[in-house]
Amino acid sequence: MAWSATLVAPRRFRTYVRCSTDAGGNPIPFHSGSIFGEERGQASGAAVAPRESPKRVESREMKGNVAIVTGGATGLGRAVALDFARRGVHVAFNYVLLPNRDIAAQALLTETALRGLGIEVYCAVCDVRDADAVNVFVETSKAELGGVHYLVNNAGIAHDGALWRMGDDAWREVLDTNVTGAFHCLRAVAPAFRKQHYGKIVNVASHQAYTPGFGIANYAASKAAVIGLTRSAAVDLGATNVNVNAVAPGFVRTEMLAKLPPEVLERAEKESLLGRVAEPEDVAHVVTFLCSEEARHITGQVIVVDGGLTLA
């Protein structure tokens, strides 16, 4: 009796099972149980182990958990905070005081709206560029609300200008806020997430990381860096059951968009495959989905929410 090797799996796996042949070289079939040594003697070679049933993962409701939303007083951050609140999630958000804008009043309106949905709220002035201030804000949020389970890095700014006219201050302020600020917040929540073996992080990037317009070198670079930070954090934190993803919105109907020339909005609506710009809630729903257990096997990904703008 001779022995030969027969390929029984796709080439990429290169798995072989040995079978016997008679004197004429014709294969002698085994009973299917023979490969595993169940009947008719033992067969040498690879044995395919039976697939184990997947472990049952208990669903974790969002209700009663705690989310930190940076820049949550206005715009997209406010929409995200409200969407969390509608799901029963307690919310902490920060804001910064700006000249010519009464952000404190807007923060109070947002806090009132959140409390009206029956949740606990903590809000405070905190500049995400200041690592010490971020650490204090995160620790106080945990103490006030009973922990932290979700982080949405939404705080961001833009200082537009042609590349050859852009000063160091305009470059540095955008990168420090949009990238370093997100890093400060990630680093501040990571120990708690790792200790509790659970956490969801969503960073707000932008479609302009992929298709930048004129005069936004600092902003486009910062949002591309946020995408890199997202993927790197997903690698670092994945082993402790922490999901890290990003959303990349197109134009969103916020106060920032209202400051742009009208022709920019018209062009955005025309170039969108859906013929419109996003409402803040369109993006907020994606953010809260990524924080839900329905998205528990998604990490290191960037979800573009731009109405097909980058395909136009």
Q: Which amino acid is at 210?
A: Y
CA neighbor of 199 nearest in space, from 243, 255, 144, 250: 243
Distance CA 3, CA 1 (A): 7
Q: Which residues are identified as catalytic?
A: 219
Residue 74, SS3 per DSSP:
coil
